[in-house]
Amino acid sequence: MEVARQEPIRNRVMPALAYDAALRREELCSLRTDDLDPAHRTLRVRAETTKNRLERVVLYSASTGVLMSACLAHRATISTARGPLFLSESRRNYAQPLTCGRGRRSYAGSP
């Protein structure tokens, strides 16, 4: 557990949220700030990111809510703009949407 605490907050909240909400990789990486309702601990999984093309609203746990609050506070130091929930912190792609490509790297804006 101590090793996990040393990870950046984004790297701690992503698996917790994926587990709580049973999210696939694309669903997780496609989350936007306006998909969250922290007051009710719910998130909206948009139809265009789901396998069956049906939107759903799911709950997440109180412990994930604590991580999410910290993640949102940290995200605000990177960008205050609404948009993708998870942003890159690398020098090359700073503040760009985090992508979760399969098998190869994928970059926002590439064909």
102 pLDDT band, cuts 50/70/90, is low
34 backbone dihedrals φ, ψ, rounded to 5°: -80, 0
* Inter-CA distances, 70 with 12, 23, 43, 73, 104, Å: 10, 20, 16, 5, 30
Q: Contact at 8 Å (CB) between 12 and 4? A: yes
What average pLDDT does this structure show over 83-91? Answer: 95
pLDDT in the model for residue 101: 67
What average pLDDT does this structure show over 75-85? Answer: 96
Does 108 have pLDDT greater than 70? no
What average pLDDT does this structure show over 6-26? Answer: 94
Instruction: Return contacts of 39-45, CB within 8 angstroms, 24+ apart.
Output: 41/65, 43/17, 45/21
Does 106 have pLDDT greater than 70? no
pLDDT in the model for residue 111: 43
